[in-house]
Structure 1
Amino acid sequence: MLTVLRRGAVAAGVLAVLIAFATMGPADEAGTVGAKPAQRHTTSPGVRPTSTAVASATGTNGSDGEIRFTATPEPNPAALERFYAQRVAWKRCTDDRQFDCARVTVPLDHADPAGETIALALRRLPSTSDRPRGTLFVNPGGPGGSGTDFVREPDLFGDDLLAAWDLVGFDPRGIGDSTPVECLTDEELDAMYAADPTPQSAQGRQLLEEAAAERAEGCLRRGGALAARMGTEAVVADLDILREAVGDERLNYYGVSYGTLIGAIYADHFTSRVGLMVLDSAVSPDALDSSTVTQRDVDANARHWGAEFDALFADFVEECGKRCVLGDTPEEAEAAIIGLLDALESVPLPTDFESLPQVTEGWAVTAIGEGLLDPTSWPYLVDALEAAIDDGDGTELAWFAMVAVGRDVDGSYPGSTYGKSHLPVTCADWPVRTWAELTPSSAIFEEHPLFARIQAPLPSECAGWKGQLRTNLLVGAEPATPILVIGNKHDPVTPIEDTEYLAEMLVGSRLVTVDATGHGAYAMGNACVNEVVEDYLARSLAPRDGTECPAT
């Protein structure tokens, strides 16, 4: 139903936007959010330069030529020799025999290789050819998405790619079928989604802050050493062990959304081991703090995001069509939804679900926020809103919200959902920043009233986090291989500015943008970008930097 679910990112939408809202810098005069990008294709500070491996001759089909690997990778870490000595023992999966399954052991703490270990789950779709090029690891994002589920959707990948590679999805540490982390309970997640997202009183805001702090403390208490070591730097160290376990000299990888951060940090930590890598719809890799944030900066940022939200909502109403049940204009539809949310703040709507008998304002905001980010779900969202507004029935809205967050009808949340797994990853990767300490002025929210209810900034989830933190908060690399970075110009979840910025930080990368809406550029119906990705992965052809794909 939802694109983010189809791609495995599972309910990352609204929360991803909120994280971005809290961690980005101010909008510049042109409306671009974030730090100023570095000059393209020059060595970034602190990045290790390596020898080039790209043919300089211009190739056909808009490529810069065939990628050739010439540099010798650095040796594996000697201290982890026993883990790197493993070889994957594939067996047919018991639930679907067209796939192979396996588990690989990694250290819980890479700095203590003699200590406790955990297991990572892998699922392989063997190549359709007799002589595959090797393994292509894939990650669907999140954090919390299951790679072993993602690889079960082979229709997402073109025939040439399926012939060229064994596709391998892995569940990162603590997620899915890997050694699980005990972080948030089902009851805590229900309470988090149900809570009033827009408290009007100081007491209400304090309750939100206290609940967030209790969730973080409870996650570490229940999850112990694993919850404290779920950050992406640990994930990429695991991934390098997986690379060696399948017998590949270099990592070949496709990652979308949060999966781009995995790829970027891998390139930063294991630069000489980068093979062919596609990073699709990027999150900004940097997490530097700024002690000079002003109220003006925060207001400029909020105004930018408010305008972006209003434009998306206008598209939603236009798609709804003339004589839309919510109203003929964005203003009328906005007033109808605001009226619903304001009423739900005091009187929830009944539903037919025993495990979720009422839809609160929080649940409605979750449904609307997630639904707006995925145009393919808009007809279902309109139906759900119509039933809630006209009939006083919250059943369809509750169903929509449950699908969005990966909640089962019985009230349980699988281990491979954003809600279940994101907290220890987010808190390790994105330390609490000065941006989170300031709230946009009330005038901004008055200018964008629906935005104020759907995407209002919430208290930091990570205040008081005691687990490990990312060591390198400014990510960049100059690998020998040109990394392919792609994204849609009108992505409502991960803005194109973040994709462009990531390309700046990965020296020698190839940036390809698509004049399209939606989250995720590859395998979403655009023939141009599909050809670029498959030429790159199946034929080692690097596209020209700055390639732009039309909408169709």
Structure 2
Amino acid sequence: MSALRNGAVALGLLLVLLTFATMQPADPGGTSAAQPAQRHTSTPAKPTPAPAATTSGTAGAAPGEIRFTGAPQPNPAALRRFYAQQVEWTRCADDRDFDCARVAVPVDHERPSGATIAIALRRLPATSEHPRGTLFVNPGGPGGSGTDFVREPDLFGDDLRAAWDIVGFDPRGIGDSAGFDCLTDEELDAMYAADPTPASAQGMEFLEEAAAARAASCLQRGGALAAKMGSEAVAADLDILREAVGDERLNYYGVSYGTLIGAIYADRFTSRVGLMVLDSAVSPDGLDTASVTQRDVDANARHWGTEFDALFADFVEECGDRCPLGTDPGSAGAALVALLDSLEAVPLPTDFDSLPQVTEGWAVTAIGEGLLDPASWPYLVDALEAAIEGDGTELAWFAMVAVGRDVDGSYPGATFGKSHLPVTCADWPARTWAELTPSRAVLEEHPLFGRIQPPLPSECAGWTGTMRSNLLVGAEPATPILVIGNEDDPVTPIEDTEYLAEMLVGSRLVTVDAARHGAYAMGNACVDEVVEDYLARGLAPRDGLGCPAD
């Protein structure tokens, strides 16, 4: 889910809504939660030397120094001309502190003689004279720009800056890598404004037709590239990039949806895995559960409804006497439901020419996203207070920030909203979970949950592009992958991070007592030191390590 830390409120809501809407285990999760980053102000003290045990061969659970053994698999012969490239860095025209380059990849890796595109790279050069190599980074989304992500150099500790050339890349079809507008500004506005809880079958049919039309128009605009934007293709591109920078193995930090790219790479290019950190993971399991029943769907909905109610109760408790909805979670929830129901009939006026009214859909976007980000709660309180008084301006502003919309009505190209659809639809085939919706009784038990995260039609209905070929991703690399996550992550549940660690045999799982999305560089000194020991010094932590709260 989202460039993770681009200074705006997360773009993760839409994908989270879709996850809850289909009531399937949260496998597509992971948009970015765009939080302001906690900056590194000093280098952690050098740790006590680890035990002499090596982690080469099958990775064990003990801490120790990572040593690479064995020869990596050869490069694919059919792609020889792409693997023969050597990256040519030049100073970036827009920022002389960085180097820029482009590397050609095939649009279709199965047809390497066909069309090609250029993948855009941006390098933050190492501060030492003799770096270990290149550390590729990906911010998630899908749709986040890696070339923008790497421009936040303070996200990376001093030891990482010294050890690595840090390189961000825009995945195929995103940003400067032949990026295109999968959805237009007008389509996005219509999607966010639409009634998310239609009372009639005709209203639900309208949502289904609109979703299918968006998928079709995206494929038409993007052509062959739009049909080939899945994470398997991105992982194959990444291996070409690895060779182009001259590294024998891939060293990688991926967060949120970027963890799926890393996991797929590890599955496909296992012998090429170097030092890899997967932060706040998306479960890679895309297998269907054909035996799912209505009881299963209802049980899952009750679970998420209970979780959502607890989150809303925390919000009410935090705002206290300032809460315009009241101080009791039950009555506050009922008041918010009443506000949303009123917006379905009479939208609120705003001061924005490009968004003159706040509909129920826009309000759901703002409130749902705001609740996921405790740092934004004071602003959400102000927006709700103004809305109750009849002014939708602050709620409209909140919603626009949440989805990356400018006040002039435009959306940047490399964002989740504009770019995620062809990746999401390629990575996650339709599942039986999506065919069933929670029973009315369950939604009535959790009425606010039913308004903020309602059942919605699949956005990938009628998808005709490429589908992921391996729906059960796993690997057993010779060296341990570091998998980290927060115990109360509101976007990608810790269960997904734990599951990914199980699927990557020999990995080291480190959890943090925190309730945010993204573990590294978010202010927890313990996990920051673990990541920097791993990447800068090649020291693997003990498996199952838990980091206390900040």
2:446 corresponding residue in structure 1: 448
- 1:336 CA drift (Å): 2.4
2:276 corresponding residue in structure 1: 277
CA contact (8 A) 1:232 1:265 kept: yes
1:438 corresponding residue in structure 2: 436
Q: Deviations over 1:481-513 (max 9, x none)?
A: 100001000001000000000001000000011
1:498 to 2:501 alignment: no
Distance in 1, Cα, partners of 2:101 & 2:242:
14
1:192-211 map, 5 Å: 192-211=191-210
Distance in 2, Cα, partners of 1:17 & 1:211:
17
1:550 corresponding residue in structure 2: 548
2:363 corresponding residue in structure 1: 364
CA contact (8 A) 1:9 1:143 kept: no
Distance in 1, Cα, partners of 2:232 & 2:59:
33
- 1:219 CA drift (Å): 1.1
Distance in 1, Cα, partners of 2:19 & 2:322:
36
Distance in 2, Cα, partners of 1:332 & 1:240:
54
Distance in 1, Cα, partners of 2:199 & 2:305:
20
Distance in 2, Cα, partners of 1:248 & 1:408:
40
Distance in 1, Cα, partners of 2:141 & 2:398:
19
Distance in 1, Cα, partners of 2:364 & 2:346:
15
CA contact (8 A) 1:21 1:302 kept: no
Distance in 1, Cα, partners of 2:410 & 2:313:
35
1:153-302 map, 5 Å: 153-302=152-301
CA contact (8 A) 1:56 1:64 kept: no
Instruction: Give the counterpart letter for 1:296 in structure 2.
Output: R
1:53 to 2:52 alignment: no
1:45 corresponding residue in structure 2: none
Distance in 1, Cα, partners of 2:320 & 2:373:
17
Instruction: Give the counterpart letter for 1:365 in structure 2.
Output: V
Instruction: Give the counterpart letter for 1:124 in structure 2.
Output: R
- 1:321 CA drift (Å): 2.5
Counterparts in 2 of 1:185 and 1:307: CA distance versus 1, 3 Å:
same
Is the partner of 1:487 in helix, strand or coil? Answer: strand
Counterparts in 2 of 1:56 and 1:148: CA distance versus 1, 3 Å:
closer
- 1:19 CA drift (Å): 2.5
Counterparts in 2 of 1:20 and 1:64: CA distance versus 1, 3 Å:
farther
2:457 corresponding residue in structure 1: 459
**Two-structure CA RMSD over aligned residues (Å):** 2.0
- 1:399 CA drift (Å): 1.0
2:526 corresponding residue in structure 1: 528
TM-score w.r.t. structure 1 length?
Answer: 0.92
Is the partner of 1:420 in helix, strand or coil? Answer: helix
2:63 corresponding residue in structure 1: 64
Q: Deviations over 1:146-181 (max 9, x none)?
A: 101111111211111111111111000011111013
1:312 to 2:311 alignment: yes
Distance in 2, Cα, partners of 1:293 & 1:55:
36
Instruction: Give the counterpart letter for 2:379 in structure 1.
Output: Y
CA contact (8 A) 2:215 2:460 kept: yes
- 1:385 CA drift (Å): 1.1
Instruction: Give the counterpart letter for 2:16 in structure 1.
Output: A
- 1:359 CA drift (Å): 0.8
Is the partner of 1:516 in helix, strand or coil? Answer: coil
Is the partner of 2:514 in helix, strand or coil? Answer: strand
1:44 corresponding residue in structure 2: none
Distance in 2, Cα, partners of 1:163 & 1:325:
50
Is the partner of 2:97 in helix, strand or coil? Answer: coil
> What count of residue pairs does the alignment treat as equivalent?
523
Is the partner of 1:517 in helix, strand or coil? Answer: coil
Counterparts in 2 of 1:359 and 1:550: CA distance versus 1, 3 Å:
same
1:114 to 2:113 alignment: yes
2:11 corresponding residue in structure 1: 11
2:354 corresponding residue in structure 1: 355
1:24 to 2:59 alignment: no
Counterparts in 2 of 1:371 and 1:4: CA distance versus 1, 3 Å:
farther
CA contact (8 A) 1:10 1:417 kept: no
- 1:318 CA drift (Å): 1.6
Counterparts in 2 of 1:126 and 1:20: CA distance versus 1, 3 Å:
farther
Is the partner of 1:99 in helix, strand or coil? Answer: strand
2:74 corresponding residue in structure 1: 75
1:514 to 2:517 alignment: no
Counterparts in 2 of 1:108 and 1:422: CA distance versus 1, 3 Å:
same
Q: Deviations over 1:329-382 (max 9, x none)?
A: 212321222121111101111111111111111011011111111111111111
Structure 2 unaligned segments of length 5 or more: list them: 28-53
Distance in 1, Cα, partners of 2:276 & 2:115:
31
Counterparts in 2 of 1:11 and 1:173: CA distance versus 1, 3 Å:
same
Q: Deviations over 1:252-301 (max 9, x none)?
A: 00111100000000001110000000000111101111221110000001
Counterparts in 2 of 1:353 and 1:388: CA distance versus 1, 3 Å:
same
Is the partner of 1:321 in helix, strand or coil? Answer: helix
Counterparts in 2 of 1:23 and 1:303: CA distance versus 1, 3 Å:
closer
CA contact (8 A) 2:235 2:265 kept: yes
Distance in 1, Cα, partners of 2:269 & 2:58:
22
Distance in 2, Cα, partners of 1:437 & 1:296:
13
Counterparts in 2 of 1:505 and 1:105: CA distance versus 1, 3 Å:
same
- 1:22 CA drift (Å): 3.0
Counterparts in 2 of 1:303 and 1:512: CA distance versus 1, 3 Å:
same
CA contact (8 A) 2:58 2:478 kept: no
- 1:324 CA drift (Å): 2.3
Instruction: Give the counterpart letter for 1:150 in structure 2.
Output: F
CA contact (8 A) 2:58 2:476 kept: no
TM-score w.r.t. structure 2 length?
Answer: 0.92
Distance in 2, Cα, partners of 1:420 & 1:52:
42
- Which stretch of the first structure deviates more once superposed, 10-19 or 470-479? 10-19
- Which stretch of the first structure deviates more once superposed, 416-425 or 325-334? 325-334
Counterparts in 2 of 1:415 and 1:3: CA distance versus 1, 3 Å:
closer
- 1:76 CA drift (Å): 0.6
Identity of aligned residues (%): 79
CA contact (8 A) 1:514 1:551 kept: yes
CA contact (8 A) 1:487 1:499 kept: yes
Instruction: Give the counterpart letter for 1:463 in structure 2.
Output: A
Distance in 1, Cα, partners of 2:13 & 2:56:
37
**4+ long deviations beyond 4 Å:** 2-5, 7-10, 54-58
Distance in 2, Cα, partners of 1:174 & 1:191:
23
Is the partner of 1:163 in helix, strand or coil? Answer: helix
Is the partner of 2:462 in helix, strand or coil? Answer: coil
Instruction: Give the counterpart letter for 1:488 in structure 2.
Output: N
CA contact (8 A) 1:53 1:71 kept: no
1:408 to 2:406 alignment: yes
Structure 1 unaligned segments of length 5 or more: list them: 28-50
Distance in 2, Cα, partners of 1:443 & 1:500:
32
Distance in 2, Cα, partners of 1:457 & 1:188:
20
